[in-house]
Amino acid sequence: MAGLAQAQTSPFAPNGIVFVDNTSTLSTGTAQNITVQILYEGGPLKSEGVRVYILSNDTSIVPAEMGTYVLTDPNGIATYTVTAGKAGNVKLTISAGSATSGVSTERVFQVTSGPVATPTATVTATPSPSATAEPTATPTATPTVEPTVTPTVEPTPTPTAVPTATPEPGTSEAQATGIIVTGIVLAIVILLIVGVAQQLRKK
């Protein structure tokens, strides 16, 4: 666990301190471990509870200020869990013994941006060509063009003047004679009627 430094009471002088792995990259937004091993009298320190101090040269990237420390486990290994605040390069100084004296080691870490959640693309299923219904061709009715009938103009009949029959000379004279005879007969009949009427009156 990390916390503010208190007075170091361990009565030993370590020979050195080393990083356990070769990791030199970190990612923002992800908790990662930085592990170191204290060396003592020619080998790893086998002591628990020894303070190991961590100092960052850019606390906006790794927030390890002066006095930040972690404790060793029974094998003398100290693990600092860090969550980088932003991308960039940061130098971490790891010290054993005290925050300002003793043995120390340094490493520059490259901090990269953490993975960004990629939005899930909406997949639209496209039917295969075999499953695609072919459009049914609708036959286009071809209009039947009726022939234009041109009416035959019948010629207007021109009335033919009927010639007036001219009576023959003989026919006219016969008609005149008939009329005269008829008139004479009628006159005689009238005279007879008048005569009879007068005789009847005298009686």
Per-residue pLDDT, 65: 93
Which amino acid, one-letter code, is at 135? P
Q: Is residue 37 part of a domain?
A: yes
Structure tokens at 155: 């010629």
Number of structural domains (the chain) is 2
Q: Which residues pair with 19 in a beta bridge?
A: 36
Please say which residue of 112, 127, 145 terminates a domain.
112
Which residues constitute the domain of residue 198?
174-203
The residue length of the chain stands at 203
Mean per-residue pLDDT of the chain = 76
Residue 121 lies inside a defined structural domain of this protein: no
pTM over 0.75: no
pLDDT classification of 179: cutoffs 50, 70, 90: confident
